[in-house]
Amino acid sequence: MNDNARATQEAVITADGVSFSYRSGEYVSRGVREINLEVMRGEFLVILGRNGSGKSTLAKLLNGFLVPDTGKVTVLGTDTSDDDKVYEVRSKVGMVFQNPDNQMVASVIENDVAFGPENLGIPREEIEKRVTAALEIVGMSEYRKGSPNKLSGGQKQRIAIAAILAMLPEVVILDESTAMLDPKGRREIMETVLKLNREKGMTVVLITHYMDEAIEADRIFVMNDGEIVSSGAPREVFADAESLKAAGLELPAASRISLKLAEAGYDVPFAITDEELADSVCRLK
Amino acid sequence: MQIKIENLSYVYSPRTPFEKTALKDISFTVNEGDTMGIVGATGSGKSTLSRHLNALIRIQSGRIMLGDADLSQRKVDLKAVRKKVGMLFQFPEYQLFADTVRKDVAFGPMNFGINDAEASAAAAEALSLVGLDIAEVGDKSPFELSGGQMRRVAIAGVIASKPEVLVLDEPTAGLDPAGKREILELVKKLKSSFVKTVIIVSHNMDEIAEYCNRVAVLDEGRLIADTTPDGLFNHSDVVDNTELDYPHTVKIKRKLAKRGFVVDSPALNVEQLTEGILGRLAE
The secondary structure of A198-240, three-state, reads: HHHCCEEEEEECCHHHCCCCCEEEEEECCEEEEEECHHHHHHC
pLDDT means per 10 residues in chain B (283 residues)? 96 90 96 96 88 92 94 90 92 90 94 90 94 92 85 94 94 86 92 94 93 96 97 95 92 96 95 96 89
Domains of chain B as residue ranges with CATH: 33-58+77-238 (3.40.50.300), 247-283 (no CATH)
CA atoms within 13 A on the CB side of B137: 22
Q: Within an 8 Å CB–CB cutoff, is residue A260 touching chain B?
A: yes
Q: Within an 8 Å CB–CB cutoff, is residue A248 touching chain B?
A: yes
A146 within a domain of the structure (yes/no): yes
Comparing alpha-carbon positions, the chain B residue that sits nearest to A29 is B144
Cβ pair B178:A260 closer than 8 A:
no
Residue numbers in A near B146 (CB within 8 A): 51-52
ipTM here: 0.85
Cβ pair B256:A254 closer than 8 A:
no
Distance, CA of B233 to CA of B215 (rounded, Å): 10
Query: Is residue B242 classed as helix, strand or coil in its secondary structure?
Result: coil
Residue numbers in B near A275 (CB within 8 A): 255
Query: Is residue B98 classed as helix, strand or coil in its secondary structure?
Result: coil
| Residue numbers of the domain that contains A31 | 11-251
Residue numbers in A near B148 (CB within 8 A): 51
Q: Within an 8 Å CB–CB cutoff, is residue A274 touching chain B?
A: yes
Cβ pair A209:B148 closer than 8 A:
no
Residues with Cβ within 8 Å of A136's Cβ and at least 6 positions away in sequence, in order, are none
Overall domain count for chain A: 1
A99 within a domain of the structure (yes/no): yes
Cβ pair A282:B251 closer than 8 A:
no
For A:5-44, CB contacts with B below 8 A are none
Residue range A66-104, pLDDT digits in tens: 999 999 999 999 999 998 988 889 889 999 988 888 878
Please report the pLDDT score of residue B275 as a whole number.
96
Cβ pair A250:B259 closer than 8 A:
no
A258 within a domain of the structure (yes/no): no
- Best B270, B271, B280, B283 member to test A by mutation, with max A CBs in 10 Å, is B270
In the predicted model, residues of chain A with pLDDT beneath 70 are 1-6, 26
Please report the pLDDT score of residue A1 as a whole number.
44
Please report the pLDDT score of residue A20 as a whole number.
95
Cβ pair A249:B255 closer than 8 A:
no
A5 within a domain of the structure (yes/no): no
Nearest to A53 by CA among A282, A228, A251: A228
- Best B250, B277, B280 member to test A by mutation, with max A CBs in 10 Å, is B277
Domain with residue A133: its CATH number is 3.40.50.300
A282 within a domain of the structure (yes/no): no
User: Exposed (0-12), middle (13-18) or buried (19+): which is A110, by Cβ within 10 Å?
Assistant: buried
- Best A50, A102, A186, A225 member to test B by mutation, with max B CBs in 10 Å, is A50
A270 within a domain of the structure (yes/no): no
Distance, CA of A157 to CA of A174 (rounded, Å): 10
Q: Within an 8 Å CB–CB cutoff, is residue B185 touching chain A?
A: no
Distance, CA of B187 to CA of B180 (rounded, Å): 11
Cβ pair B146:A52 closer than 8 A:
yes
Please report the pLDDT score of residue B283 as a whole number.
84
Picking from A51, A152, A210, the nearest residue to B147 by CB comes out as: A51
A2 within a domain of the structure (yes/no): no
Please report the pLDDT score of residue B148 as a whole number.
79
Picking from A250, A266, A281, the nearest residue to B256 by CB comes out as: A281
Please report the pLDDT score of residue A2 as a whole number.
46
Please report the pLDDT score of residue B84 as a whole number.
94
User: Exposed (0-12), middle (13-18) or buried (19+): which is B236, by Cβ within 10 Å?
Assistant: middle
A63 within a domain of the structure (yes/no): yes
> Is the four-CA dihedral A166, A171, A175, A178 of positive or negative sign?
positive
Q: Within an 8 Å CB–CB cutoff, is residue A246 touching chain B?
A: no
Please report the pLDDT score of residue A6 as a whole number.
67
Cβ pair B274:A261 closer than 8 A:
yes
Q: Within an 8 Å CB–CB cutoff, is residue B257 touching chain A?
A: no
Q: Within an 8 Å CB–CB cutoff, is residue A278 touching chain B?
A: yes
DSSP labels, chain A: ----TT--S-EEEEEEEEEEEEEETTEEEEEEEEEEEEEETT-EEEEE--TTSSHHHHHHHHTTSS--SEEEEEETTEETT-GGGHHHHHHHEEEE-S-GGGG---SSHHHHHHHHHHHTT--HHHHHHHHHHHHHHTT-GGGTTS-GGGS-HHHHHHHHHHHHHTT--SEEEEESTTTTS-HHHHHHHHHHHHHHHHHH--EEEEEES-GGGSTT-SEEEEEETTEEEEEE-HHHHHH-HHHHHHTT----HHHHHHHHHHHTT------SSHHHHHHHHHHH-
